[in-house]
Amino acid sequence: MDISRKTDYAFRILAMLVGSKGSLLSVRTAAEEMDVPYSFARSIQHELTKVGFIESLRGVRGGMRLKIDPASITVNDIIEAMQGPLVVNKCLKDGKPCPRRESCCYHPIWIGAKALLRDYLSSVTLEEAVNCKRNPCVNSKFTKRSEFPNYVSRENEYITGK
């Protein structure tokens, strides 16, 4: 999994908006504080607006502000909104069953890694992360070898639709 620059900057913008507590933040100010080109910050603003995380107001006194409660959205939600579903390996991409899944000894491992990563990134909200209230954590089911078949089979059902 790779966090893109666009997603990284989206996290920074969202953190700035959480800190602004409902005040409007101009895209230009955000771009300058993040040291990114204004046009790139605008495209991120557009994407965050499109997915419903922020609202954008035009005009001289315009700007952007959070549209969602930062306590209701997880780090995983933001990543998937900005760059699509988590992908650990090409064979798990696009939700299509891997043609080699029955004969590949690694397939369950990639499914487990994806489940672990999704669970980890879903364990902390934007509000918790920005305010350092909680760090992501690993569910204890991932530390018990006996649980592996359970979360791998559930993930496999999700991927294959069966």
Domain boundaries, the chain: 5-66, 73-160
In this predicted model, what pLDDT tens digit does every residue of 88-112 receive, in sequence order? 877 766 666 777 777 888 888 888 8
Closest-CA residue to 112 (of 80, 81, 84, 144): 144
Give the H/E segment covering residue 38.
helix 38-50
CATH-assigned architecture of domain 5-66: Orthogonal Bundle (1.10)
Q: Give the predicted TM-score (pTM) of the model.
A: 0.83
pLDDT per position as a tens digit, 33-47? 988 999 999 999 999
112 contacts 152 by C-beta, under 8 angstroms:
yes
